[in-house]
């Protein structure tokens, strides 16, 4: 038995030595052929070695053998393709801090919710809820005093915040570090709210100072780590502090002013870092606070509230300009910049209407304030025009013109929605053509419809043309304003050279609007002509009523004779223009207008006017219609002959 065991050990030793010798031989064979198989003149920059000419295979006994595979060799890659293949073969670099955060322009995957990121942020949220529930439970159970509660909440927030900073410095950009710091900042705000709103430990000024400190710390870390999430928690949380103090008696001027200052910082950081979400949320939070403050102001003429509203107006205006200068394209207006600029103007006008009331001597305070707003917008337009930025100059110049129109209406005749909406329609129509943006044209058409509806229902009702007792001159300014706005919309209804790219329902509307510019120009042009004819008719009635003697009924009938004659002359002029420009569209419009004139003569003049006056109306319209028919036939034949002579001569 012993001899058999010794023999087996000797056999195993011999096999082990044989294997060692084979391994040594394989190493020698693997190392020695390499210089001979290498490329004769390899470039030092080659990242991918040439494919080997031999391949090694192992048999069942574990021995390695060399075998040639000339027919299976792949073609050598081109020199310029080698770096690309090598770069593709290299492992991906570690993503940076801001690349690890959830992007808003992609769908959230399951890994984002169940992976390290989701677990880390879930832990931060649970930690914050623990701080909040601690306050609630401590208040309900009466375990500890208010001072101890605030102290423990502040300590817990600081510990979580410090732990996040330590994890970031020790282990790098981990999700747990960001979630811990975010939970610490949010917990600090929750502790501040409890100390101020629940226990009255801090006055309003002290609470705002502490909130500013928390926001400064959060902003510093956000800039250092380049994290939009931390910046949003720090700055937006500070802006929410004045809103949470509403439990103590409502929004205050100093709190809204603090929110305005924090918004200025948030806007500067958002423009610098291209953080659109931070800018959008900051605008929303600050706008809600100034609306609430202005709506519930104690007195109408409250100068502190006016100062805060003016500051936010200038901040929105500056944010729009800054975004266009630093983030917008070299040509064309950026949508974010345009939206902020329009929002600033709307806030200024609405705040002026709300906060100013009464009059100073002969002038209305609202009109004077709007004139100041228009002066600022006009100065911005002049500056950007000199600087060579025509798009910004056009935007601010258009806003200045609209505010001037509103101020003029407020100073001269009080608030008149027809003037305001007509001015907005004309402005947006021009801005659509200048900025090459169809969305402005949609808004222009909406304002035009509003102006027309308001004028036809209240100020320039069509029945005023056929009523004896109403003075017709009062409706002329509204009709003129409506006609000018419709003419502006028709003049600027042109197709753009570059295509308009919009998504969704807006894209479909823009596509239909782009294709229907000719039809839109005809429709708005006809509307402008109708408003002009209506104003002309009212003017004729007003002039006859003031210059002709006799009773009111006689002056009214004489005025309608002039109106019928004017309508016939308008149809005749339209027919001449159609013949001159060889336009079938204008000729059809002239024929349609003659039909309207005949309807008026037969329906109204024939029934309401006396026999003598009725005959004059029929004669006036009939003469214009006969003359138009004669000219159409005569001039059309001459034009045909002239065209024939030109063809023969050519």
What pLDDT is attached to residue 74?
Answer: 46
- pLDDT surpasses 60 at 256: yes
Q: What is the mean pLDDT of residues 501-520?
A: 75
What pLDDT is attached to residue 526?
Answer: 92
Per the CB < 8 A criterion, the answer to whether 485 and 425 are in contact is yes
Higher-confidence residue of 499 and 10: namely 10
CA-to-CA dists, residue 482 to 492, 534, 615, angstroms:
16, 11, 33
Task: pLDDT band for 38, please (50, 70, 90 cuts).
Answer: very low
Its sign, for the CA torsion 535, 536, 538, 539, is positive
Helix (H, G, I), strand (E, B) or coil at 424: helix
Q: What is the mean pLDDT of residues 388-410?
A: 77
- pLDDT surpasses 70 at 522: yes
What pLDDT is attached to residue 25?
Answer: 76
Q: What is the mean pLDDT of residues 429-458?
A: 83
Task: pLDDT band for 118, please (50, 70, 90 cuts).
Answer: low
Higher-confidence residue of 425 and 328: namely 425
Q: Give the number of other Cβ atoms within 10 Å of residue 543's Cβ.
A: 14
Q: Which token pair is 501?
A: 């790219």
Q: What is the pLDDT of residues 587-623, one digit of tens each?
A: 888 889 999 999 999 999 888 888 878 888 899 999 9
Residues 6+ away with beta carbon under 8 Å from 178? 101, 120, 121, 124, 164, 168, 225, 227, 229, 230
CA distance 257 to 285: 13
Helix (H, G, I), strand (E, B) or coil at 57: strand
What pLDDT is attached to residue 643?
Answer: 42
Residues 6+ away with beta carbon under 8 Å from 42? 49, 50
What pLDDT is attached to residue 355?
Answer: 83
- pLDDT surpasses 90 at 26: no
Its sign, for the CA torsion 56, 59, 65, 68, is negative
Higher-confidence residue of 649 and 93: namely 93
CA distance 430 to 485: 10
- pLDDT surpasses 50 at 36: no
According to the per-residue pLDDT averaged within each range, which of 197-206, 289-298, 303-312, 404-413 is highest?
303-312
Per the CB < 8 A criterion, the answer to whether 233 and 215 are in contact is no
What pLDDT is attached to residue 298?
Answer: 63
Element (H, E) at 54: strand 54-58
What pLDDT is attached to residue 158?
Answer: 82
What pLDDT is attached to residue 62?
Answer: 57
- pLDDT surpasses 60 at 90: no
% residues pLDDT > 70 (the chain)? 70
Compute the mean pLDDT over every residue in the chain, rounded to the nearest whole number.
Answer: 75
Which residues share a beta bridge with 65? 57
CA-to-CA dists, residue 598 to 538, 565, 618, 620, 630, angstroms:
19, 11, 9, 11, 18
CA distance 153 to 137: 12
Per the CB < 8 A criterion, the answer to whether 382 and 393 are in contact is yes
How far from the centroid of its chain's Cα atoms is residue 159's Cα?
A: 41
Helix (H, G, I), strand (E, B) or coil at 135: helix
Q: What is the pLDDT of residues 338-368, one digit of tens each?
A: 889 989 998 898 888 888 865 554 456 777 8
Candidates 404, 267, 412, 275; CA nearest to 349 is 404
Task: pLDDT band for 82, please (50, 70, 90 cuts).
Answer: very low
What pLDDT is attached to residue 113?
Answer: 41
Q: What is the pLDDT of residues 188-211, one digit of tens each?
A: 777 777 777 666 777 767 877 888
Residue matched to tokens 């337009």: 381
Query: What is the Cβ-side half-sphere exposure of residue 315, based on CA atoms within 13 angstroms?
Result: 24
DSSP string, 136-160: HHHHHHT-S-HHHHHHHHHHHHHHH
Helix (H, G, I), strand (E, B) or coil at 58: strand
What pLDDT is attached to residue 128?
Answer: 56
- pLDDT surpasses 90 at 180: no
Element (H, E) at 55: strand 54-58
Q: What is the mean pLDDT of residues 5-31?
A: 74
Per the CB < 8 A criterion, the answer to whether 205 and 239 are in contact is no
Q: What is the pTM of this model?
A: 0.55
Local structure of residue 377 (DSSP, 8 states):
H
Residues 6+ away with beta carbon under 8 Å from 426? 444, 484, 485, 488, 489
CA distance 69 to 468: 110
What pLDDT is attached to residue 319?
Answer: 92
What pLDDT is attached to residue 132?
Answer: 57
Q: What is the mean pLDDT of residues 440-459?
A: 85
What pLDDT is attached to residue 232?
Answer: 80
Higher-confidence residue of 525 and 27: namely 525
- pLDDT surpasses 50 at 137: yes
What pLDDT is attached to residue 215?
Answer: 80
What pLDDT is attached to residue 412?
Answer: 60
Task: pLDDT band for 108, please (50, 70, 90 cuts).
Answer: very low
């Amino acid at each position: 038995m012993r001899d058999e065991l010794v023999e087996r050990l000797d056999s195993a030793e011999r096999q082990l030595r044989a294997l060692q010798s084979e391994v040594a031989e394989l190493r020698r064979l693997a190392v020695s052929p390499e210089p001979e198989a290498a490329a004769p003149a390899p470039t030092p920059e080659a990242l991918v070695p040439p494919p080997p000419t031999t391949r090694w295979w192992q048999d069942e006994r574990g021995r390695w053998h060399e075998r040639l595979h000339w027919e299976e060799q792949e073609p050598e890659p081109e020199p310029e393709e080698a770096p690309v293949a090598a770069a593709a073969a290299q492992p991906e670099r570690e993503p940076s801090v801001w690349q690890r955060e959830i992007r808003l322009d992609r769908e959230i995957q399951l890994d984002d919710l169940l992976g390290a990121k989701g677990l880390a942020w879930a832990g931060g949220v649970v930690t914050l809820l623990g701080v909040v529930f601690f306050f609630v439970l401590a208040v309900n159970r009466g375990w500890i005093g208010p001072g101890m509660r605030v102290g423990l909440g502040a300590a817990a927030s600081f510990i979580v915040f410090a732990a996040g900073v330590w994890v970031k410095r020790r282990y790098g950009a981990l999700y747990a570090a960001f979630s811990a710091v975010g939970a610490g900042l949010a917990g600090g705000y929750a502790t501040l709210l409890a100390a101020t709103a629940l226990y009255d430990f801090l006055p309003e000024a002290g609470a705002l100072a502490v909130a500013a400190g928390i926001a400064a710390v959060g902003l510093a870390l956000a800039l250092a780590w380049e994290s939009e999430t931390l910046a949003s928690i720090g700055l937006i949380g500070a802006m929410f502090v004045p809103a949470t103090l509403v439990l103590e008696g409502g929004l205050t001027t100093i709190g809204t002013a603090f929110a305005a200052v924090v918004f200025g910082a948030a806007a500067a950081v958002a423009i610098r870092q291209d953080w659109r979400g931070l800018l959008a949320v900051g605008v929303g939070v600050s706008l809600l606070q100034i609306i609430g403050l202005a709506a519930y102001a104690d007195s109408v003429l409250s100068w502190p509230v006016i100062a805060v509203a003016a500051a936010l107006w200038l901040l929105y205006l500056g944010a729009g300009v800054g975004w266009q200068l630093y983030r917008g394209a070299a040509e064309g207006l950026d949508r974010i910049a345009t939206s902020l600029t329009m929002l600033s103007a709307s806030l200024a006008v609405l705040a002026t209407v709300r906060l100013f009331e009464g009059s100073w001597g002969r002038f209305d305070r609202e009109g004077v304030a709007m004139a100041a707003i228009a002066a600022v917008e006009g100065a911005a337009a002049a500056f950007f025009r000199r600087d060579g930025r025509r798009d910004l100059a056009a935007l601010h110049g258009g806003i200045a013109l609209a505010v001037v129109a509103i101020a003029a209406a407020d100073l001269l005749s009080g608030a008149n929605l027809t003037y305001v909406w007509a001015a907005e329609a004309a402005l947006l129509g021009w801005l659509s053509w200048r900025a090459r943006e169809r969305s402005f044209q949609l808004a222009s058409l909406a304002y035009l419809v509003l102006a027309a509806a308001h004028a036809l229902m209240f100020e320039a009702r069509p029945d005023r043309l056929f009523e004896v007792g109403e003075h017709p001159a009062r409706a002329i300014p509204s009709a003129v304003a409506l006609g000018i706005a419709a003419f502006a919309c028709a003049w600027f209804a042109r197709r753009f050279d570059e295509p308009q790219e919009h998504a969704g329902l807006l894209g479909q509307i823009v596509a239909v609007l782009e294709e229907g510019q000719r039809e839109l120009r005809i429709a708005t042009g006809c509307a402008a002509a109708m408003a002009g004819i209506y104003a002309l008719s009212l003017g004729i009635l007003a002039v006859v009523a003031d210059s002709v003697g006799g009773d009111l009924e006689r002056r009214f009938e004489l005025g309608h004779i002039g109106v019928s004659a004017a309508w016939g002359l308008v149809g005749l002029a339209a027919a001449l223009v159609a013949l001159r420009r060889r336009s079938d569209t204008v000729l059809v419009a002239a024929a349609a207008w003659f039909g309207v004139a005949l309807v008026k003569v037969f329906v109204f003049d024939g029934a309401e006017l006396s026999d003598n006056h009725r005959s004059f109306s029929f004669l006036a319209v009939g003469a214009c219609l006969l003359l138009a028919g004669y000219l159409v036939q005569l001039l059309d034949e001459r034009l045909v002959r002239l065209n024939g002579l030109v063809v023969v001569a050519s």
